[in-house]
Amino acid sequence: MKRARQETVPEKMRRLRGVIMIICLPIFLVSFVFFLIPRGSLSVDGGGGVLLGRTGGNSKKYAVIFDAGSSGSRVHVFCFDLNLDVQPIGEELELFKQKKPGLSSYAENPEEAANSLLSLLEEAESVVPPELRNLTPVKVGATAGLRALGMESSEKILQAVRDFLRDKSSLKVKPEWVSVLDGTQEGAYQWVTINYLLGNLGKTYADTVGVVDLGGGSVQMAYAISESDAKTAPTIKNGEDTYVKPLYLKGTKYYLYVHSYLHYGLLAARAEILKVDGAAGASCIPGGFHGSYKYNGEEFEASALSPGSSYNKCSEAALKSLKTDQPTCTHMKCTFGGVWNGGGGDGQKKLFVASFFFDRAAEAGFVDPKVPIAKVRPSDFEDAAKRACGLNLEEAQKRFPRVGPGNLPYLCMDLVYQYTLLINGFGLDKGQEITLVKQVKYRDQLVEAAWPLGSAIEVMSSE
């Protein structure tokens, strides 16, 4: 028998070409679609976290945030990877620089206010790779200092800053990124910052920490509350804001109680205490000091009475300044000034207290200024206040050598106010443990416990 001729490969391909086309066509189409997808796209992972796509082949992205506070201007530069984790900039996890005075000190010269940011801008741009500068957002968040100036004056300064960044900066600028933060934004960003650094985001609200941030012009409180408490939140009288902000973070929905108290930051509170009445306010001033206190364009008499400062009388003045008895809360417990306290709960049990609380504690000597975080109790502020009040200026200088000359006349007042704010304002127990925080350790590095990181996370998530 003759052996059948073996079919060649080309002959087989011709015979099966229909089958081959059916198999290859879908593969080709899928490959073509993937080729067309932009590489800089933003997506959300299965857990609700934001994934940043590569842009121009880079796996890192930067954000520059200016904190334009009442006591000074500060710039923060952050670097993020694709998973929105903070990455080192040199040997540190962020660039942080600051200078005084703040923008509100230039109320009569908006251009000079804007130009005061030049050295900070140059520092920030120097750490951003040149090829990424036009992709790097720069935001300016002004806080209580500009809020207190009024809309007309603050808008002139903000416009001058917008023009300054447009002309002088190589970074990505949008007009809406230069604004006055309302207090609730500031408080919410601070809460996000600290809980992000502690690794709490994505956990239940009971596993997060509450935050009190004492700035120069305002003080913010923020903590996560239960959904049932959020549903019972009252409406703020002016109708312009709410007590509760819903946030979606790391696949978890949080109901954030947040409120900002304008005029109750540490520097503003000095003016409020001195306004209560001349005698009571002066009772906080150490013997030997004769002068005046300037805040937000106003000047207040701040000369000591002949007996010097008095802890008890200063406490009375501080309590009156908080207006804890008016207006009263009609149906829910309040903090002070008729403000709802959020209902308390697990999200408030662990309280992190930042900014001027840490600074005064370090200057008063009951916190090591070299440590980034410390456990204290409100009673520690009371004890320090009792040591400071009653001293004349010379004695106070010897007893508290860490306090600068500009703050020394107000040390008794500041410590009394901080204790009064915690106990009579926010309703804490004097023996309750709280955490004073200046920086938080994140991946064996220290990061400033300030709202700009929360703002950076927001802008990077939306870019």
Give the residue from 119, 118, 138 showing the smallest Cα distance to 128: 138
The DSSP string of 48-113 is: S-EEEPPBTTBS-EEEEEEEE-SS-EEEEEEEE-TTS-EE-BTTBSSEEEEESS-GGGGTT-HHHH
Give pLDDT, residue 255.
96
Residues 6+ apart with CB under 8 A from 169: 121, 125, 138
Query: Crossing angle for the helix pair 411-420 and 266-276, nearest 10 degrees?
Result: 100
> 260 near 222, Cβ under 8 Å?
no
Residues 6+ apart with CB under 8 A from 47: 202, 250, 251
Give pLDDT, residue 85.
87
Quote the CA–CA distance of 225 and 94 in Å, as a whole number.
31
Residues 6+ apart with CB under 8 A from 193: 449, 450, 451, 452, 453, 454, 457
Catalytic annotation present for 186: yes
Q: What is the pTM of this model?
A: 0.76
Give pLDDT, residue 422.
97
Q: Answer whether residue 134 shows pLDDT above 80.
A: yes
The DSSP string of 351-405 is: EEEEEHHHHHHHHHTSS-TT-SEEEE-HHHHHHHHHHHTT-BHHHHHHH-TTS-T
Contacts of 250-254 spanning 24+ positions with Cβ under 8 A = 250/47, 250/48, 250/49, 250/201, 250/202, 251/47, 251/48, 251/49, 251/202, 252/48, 252/201, 252/202, 252/203, 252/204, 254/205, 254/208, 254/224
Give pLDDT, residue 150.
83
Give pLDDT, residue 410.
97
Confidence bin at 142 (pLDDT 50/70/90): very high
Give pLDDT, residue 71.
81
Q: Answer whether residue 378 shows pLDDT above 60.
A: yes
Can the peptide bond before residue 101 be classed as cis, meaning omega within 30 degrees of 0? yes
Highest average pLDDT, of 229-233, 302-306, 404-408, comes from 404-408
Give the residue from 456, 461, 460 showing the smallest Cα distance to 140: 456
**Selected catalytic residue, list 94, 186, 272, 448:** 186
Q: Percent of the chain having pLDDT more than 90?
A: 62
Confidence bin at 162 (pLDDT 50/70/90): very high
**Which two three-digit tokens encode residue 166?**
């447009």
Can you list the domains of the chain with their CATH numbers? 52-181+448-462 (3.30.420.40), 193-432 (3.30.420.150)
Q: Per residue in 186-220, pLDDT tens?
A: 899 999 999 999 999 889 999 999 999 998 888 99
67 φ, ψ (degrees, to nearest 5): -100, 100
